[in-house]
Amino acid sequence: MSSIILAGCEQDKTFEKAEALAYHLAANLADYTIEINTIPPEEWDSYKKSIYEENEWALRRARDRKIKKVDELDQLIWRESGELIGNTWDYIELMKHSYGEEVVKVGLFRVQDD
């Protein structure tokens, strides 16, 4: 079972791409669960820092074996186990690797960037 937590700022077009992909996978994979936390812009920086520190990601390598700094992450995506995946692009890359090219062929990336 794969349980993924996604957190991002409201009105973040890049985060909307991660949300769309997560909803698609949750609807089509029996053992795939998601929790999505959309945070108001005025609360995002403190929320992000709090989650980052709570999970001790400054001391733990992310899924790609790199230490990611809190200021480098515009979104936070991690496994329920506490393993940091990274931002939206890290998540898309992991899902593409895990589930194949099909995740990019479902038309989810038509969300327009302003």
Q: How does pLDDT run across 31-63, given as a tens digit for each residue?
A: 999 999 999 999 999 999 999 999 999 888 888
Give CATH for domain 2-110. Answer: 3.40.30
Determine the average pLDDT of the residues in 13-18.
92
Percentage of the chain lying above the pLDDT 70 cut: 87
Q: Is 83 left (phi over 0), alpha (psi -120 to 50) or beta?
A: beta
Instruction: Please give the pLDDT value at position 98.
Output: 86
| pTM summary value | 0.86
Instruction: Please give the pLDDT value at position 107.
Output: 53
